Amino acid sequence: MTSTTGPVLVGPKPLTEDEILAVARRDAPVRLTEEALAAMAASRAQVEALAASPTPAYGVSTGFGALATRHIPAELRAQLQRSLIRSHAAGSGPEVEREVVRALMLLRLRTLATGRTGVRPRTAQALAALLNAGITPVVREYGSLGCSGDLAPLAHVALALMGEGEVRDAAGALRPAAEALAEAGVAPVELAAKEGLALINGTDGMLGQLVLACHDLARLLRVADVAAAMSVEALLGTDRVFAAGLQALRPHPGQAASAANLTALLAGSAIVASHRGPECTRVQDAYSLRCAPQVTGAARDTLEHARLVAARELASAVDNPVVTPDGRVESNGNFHGAPVAYVLDFLAIPVADVASMSERRTDRMLDVARSHGLPAFLADDPGVDSGHMIAQYTQAAIVSELKRLAVPASVDSIPSSAMQEDHVSMGWSAARKLRRAIDGLARVLAIEILTAARALDLRAPLTPAPATAAVVAALRAHVGGPGPDRYLSPEIETTVTLVRDGTLLAAAESVTGPLS
């Protein structure tokens, strides 16, 4: 993935994952392209012509949802737009993370830039200015059903554009929107015909979270291979089952990539070599070791499918009604979040399963009946010390939660808007639970790595592979090695940070080169 420098150019073309990450997480500035400004101006002319027509047009001169049968006279249409945003900004619960709000703002801006929504260029420029000023509207956890778009989350953004509601400024302080906009030199927008709908009728919230989740999960699946390799060594497992020839008998690309990673990570391991001879009486390793490529590989293939769906959605112009290339303004159902909701739910399944396998490997390292010579719970003085006994409890609690989070949200639907919107996707809910699941996976993998590193230290004088040894060394720069029981929670949290920020993965790749 290439790094993004300078402003992210927003136009009709799809944004890349790195461009979205640059704006959402690294505060990269944005700039609308000349092509985007021209496209918006052209479609706006079509909307204004329609607004002047005596023929009612949904979203331009009518009410919304179940109220679409009422024709709104021209003198009430500005009020119509304000009322739409105020009433739809009905979220509740905790604030949504800043990176999620910035991602959804960017993706909505890109849809406006396609010229298919009919907004004025100045409205899109105001949204870009909000991003560039680091102003983040307060969006609440609950409110989106994932159909007619992420209405409530996007309405909170539109409300801020109007100079109403609450925002976080660039320093993170909670402030009235009017005050923060004035300080940043951003004039509040007086919404014109159709613009209220155009600002809120999209899948941008769930899509932004999908893009962020795909990026984070791709890294965690490589970390899962690192953790598995460390556990294979710690449990005196074999690397022969990861041979390319064996993997080719079942040609799933993700499985091949994971097995190749494990082979590279275990190359040169004195621990693996120590029991490779005929004196070793074990016929085969447990599934959690032997089948690691099959599970993390299947997770990779699921991730690739999710990225394909994300790419298609990133190339879309989601609004209702939409301005077609030939100038018509047509109602449609493209705002339905099902395509995105399904893959958000789908990803939660391998996240739970990869974590489940990780926990099983950890448990084996702590059990004297299965750990092949390691002390009980890796304790310094078993009985006096408990070692990593309760670290595995923490893993088990998280894995149990991940199984619940793997239950799909998208199979549910509660009718809304007086049965006009009688089937919804619940895609926002799927996105929210996937974010929690990915957080849990990072924690489970961190505990496995922390445990495996301790087990590898206890295998001395046998030495691990150069790659896994580099991971142990990177961890030991922050967390001490074996010894009497210590306050364990801070060590777990430190390891979680090292997993999330890429430190431990980078240590492994300093030896192996980039892992797949």
Do residues 478 and 494 lie in contact, with contact meaning Cβ atoms separated by under 8 Å?
yes
- Give the separation between CA 7 and CA 5, rounded to whole angstroms: 7
Alpha-helix residue ranges (DSSP H) falling in 89-120:
98-113
Query: Shortest CA distance to 267 belongs to which of 15, 489, 508, 13?
Result: 508
Q: What is the DSSP letter of 322?
A: E
- Give the separation between CA 400 and CA 390, rounded to whole angstroms: 15
469's enclosing H/E stretch is helix 466-476
- Give the separation between CA 505 and CA 227, rounded to whole angstroms: 10
How does 329-340 read in b/e, with b if 16+ C-beta sit within 10 Å?
beeeebbbbbbb
10's enclosing H/E stretch is strand 8-10
The CA distances from residue 476 to 65, 113, 311, 453, 482, in Å, are: 59, 49, 40, 9, 10
Catalytic, 487? Answer: no
Query: Shortest CA distance to 200 belongs to which of 86, 114, 347?
Result: 86
Q: Which of 58, 142, 287, 342 is catalytic?
A: 58
Neighbouring C-alpha atoms within 13 Å toward the C-beta of 391 = 37
- Give the separation between CA 14 and CA 477, rounded to whole angstroms: 42
Cβ-Cβ contacts under 8 Å for 63 (sequence gap 6 or more): 69, 70, 72, 80
244's enclosing H/E stretch is helix 244-248
Count CB-CB contacts under 10 A for residue 166: 15
- Report the largest interatomic distance among the alpha carbons of the chain, rounded to a whole angstrom: 91
Query: Shortest CA distance to 359 belongs to which of 391, 312, 321, 329?
Result: 391
Q: What is the DSSP letter of 421?
A: B
**CA-based Rg of the chain, rounded to a whole angstrom?**
26
- Give the separation between CA 310 and CA 344, rounded to whole angstroms: 10
Do residues 30 and 23 lie in contact, with contact meaning Cβ atoms separated by under 8 Å?
yes
Reduce the DSSP state of residue 353 to 3 states and report it: helix
Do residues 258 and 311 lie in contact, with contact meaning Cβ atoms separated by under 8 Å?
no
Count CB-CB contacts under 10 A for residue 284: 11
Location of structure tokens 């460390």: 230
For the chain, the distance separating the N- and C-terminal CA atoms, rounded to the nearest angstrom, is 13
Do residues 243 and 263 lie in contact, with contact meaning Cβ atoms separated by under 8 Å?
yes
- Give the separation between CA 320 and CA 200, rounded to whole angstroms: 10
Q: Which residues are catalytic?
A: 58
